[in-house]
Amino acid sequence: MASTAARQERCVSEISNGAVYLESALRNINSWSIWQSYWGRSFDIGIVKVVTLTTQGQVWLCMIQHNTNSIEQEASRWQSHGITSHGITILPYSGKITKPSDSMTP
């Protein structure tokens, strides 16, 4: 779902990093009503409109919006799919690259 082929290729190279999966962020939204008030229109246009064209997509959307997993259950779920970390690269104004990261352990 990257904006360029090069960026998509970088995402593929980080397949065990949960940060490259949209679902990892969406599954952990604490309040969908608050989130929708900020991002709802863009999310609806960019994601929901296409995802809900299929029954599978409708089920997925409902599942992520009603996720009640504990932290341990969520970590175990992602680990079962080969996801072992969650980290992003931040390029601040100074030009120095930092990589905040979390390990996933049950």
Taking only the tens of pLDDT, the chain with its 106 residues reads 667 888 778 777 778 877 778 888 898 888 889 988 988 899 999 899 999 999 999 999 999 999 998 988 988 888 898 888 877 665 555 555 445 444 454 4
Cα separation of 106 and 101, whole Å?
A: 16
Give the pTM. Answer: 0.67
Q: Both ends of the chain: CA-CA distance in Å?
A: 29
Cα separation of 16 and 67, whole Å?
A: 21
| 28 close to 73: Cβ distance less than 8 angstroms | no
